[in-house]
Amino acid sequence: MPPLLKAMNERTVLEAIRSGAPISRAEISRRAGISKPTVSLALRALVDAGLVREADHDPDGPSYGAVFFEPVPDAALVLGLDLGARFVRGAVCDLGGTTRVRQDVELVAGSDADAALAAIVDLGARLVEAAGGVPDVVDGVVVGVPGVVDDEGRLHLSHFTTLEGRDLADELERGLGHPVTLMNDINLAATGEHWRGVAQGVDDFAFLSVGTGLGMGLVLDGELRLGRHGAAGELDYSLVGFGAAHDPCASAVSALASELVSREGAPTVLGPPFEPRDVFAAARGGDPIAREVVAEVARRIALHIAPVAAVADIGLVVLGGGIGANGDLLLDRIRAYLAEWLPYPPRVEISSLGEAAVLSGALAVGLRAALDNVFRERRTAV
């Protein structure tokens, strides 16, 4: 058998095992569309390479004497990290996609760039140790960052102004001792929802994060779209000519609440500094001004969804972020606006992963790369 065809068969069998383990030889053949003798040859090579092992039979059904297979999860580990405004979140997963350990670390208020990078490096080292892995087993690190990442691993358009233009990927690689992939955090959140969230099986959707800022991750034909400069989804600039009147983010929510309280003089529990969480809590309690603010926020979010839906004809919008997560107050209103404005309104849902969406995406990207790397290296070594 030609080497290229042999490698393709082995990779196809490995993917079938990953997605269906524990799985029998006959089921691998059926799912992969490869003959049983060819599957047997591929299995022998994968077992010899330490990528696959025999497993207990499927507990949900009889085995009929068949041998079942599963991936070897310890062949490599992946480290995922999420740099947020107030936290650094991290997790380690194995090749089976199982999260071994996760931890969040709060950043000290006013932390500068060096302090944030030091927190990332320290958390990464502790997570690998806690996962029971040795550094050599870590295939790579994926870090979600708020901003646009250029081809040289530099960060732009981030609220971490002290990180603007720094060679962040190189600095983290030196600190962590592993190859580092930097990606925009909202793009990773979209990837996470596609992998194991509410967007599983949906090929055309957008993840919209509404919090301190506004960002979107766009998936079309099952692939994340980054755009020419890696800046696709930077919605803070989409309605820039209209000013703050259409902004649904945290500072605009506070400003709107302050304006309505001072203008209307109606009884309200709201008061300075008009934190968004207090506004939404008051709206749940029936406060009339808070409910007016929430209704306007829903309209502003719908205004940002409508042009994307009209141009890309997406089937789903996943809402996340500190503002967007208030689905009980926002979803019905947003859906009603989109149904009124668009001939084909997308379904709108709240993120099922919540604050773990970025981390899940980081692990998904790292896992995909690790499978390629380990498959290539182990096959070459055998």
How many other CB atoms are there within 10 angstroms of residue 65's CB atom? 7
What global pTM score does this model have? 0.88
Tell whether the torsion through CA atoms of 153, 358, 222 and 349 is positive or negative: negative
Tokens of 366: 């790292």
* Number of continuous H segments (helices) and E segments (strands) in the chain: 12, 15
| Same-domain check for residues 176 and 93 | yes
| Same-domain check for residues 368 and 281 | no
Check residue 340 and give its pLDDT: 98
Check residue 165 and give its pLDDT: 80
Domain count, the chain: 3
Helix axes 25-32, 36-48, angle to 10 degrees: 110
| Same-domain check for residues 227 and 208 | yes
Beta bridge partners of 167: 154
Amino acid identity of residue 283, one-letter, is A
Check residue 377 and give its pLDDT: 74
Alpha carbons 196 and 353: distance in angstroms, whole number: 8
| Same-domain check for residues 340 and 225 | yes
How many other CB atoms are there within 10 angstroms of residue 230's CB atom? 17
Tens-binned pLDDT, residue by residue, of the chain (382 aa): 677 788 888 889 988 888 788 899 999 999 999 999 999 999 998 998 888 999 876 555 555 668 899 888 888 899 999 998 889 999 999 988 889 999 999 988 777 778 889 999 999 999 988 987 666 789 999 999 988 988 877 888 787 777 788 888 889 999 999 999 999 999 999 999 999 999 999 999 999 999 988 999 999 999 999 998 889 998 888 877 776 789 999 999 999 999 999 987 778 999 999 999 999 999 999 999 999 999 999 999 999 999 999 999 999 999 999 999 999 999 999 999 999 999 999 999 999 999 999 999 999 999 989 888 887 776 565 5
| Same-domain check for residues 204 and 342 | yes
CATH value at residue 250: 3.30.420.40
CATH value at residue 8: 1.10.10.10
| Same-domain check for residues 178 and 302 | no
Domain span at 127: 75-190+357-381
Alpha carbons 17 and 31: distance in angstroms, whole number: 10
| Same-domain check for residues 95 and 234 | no
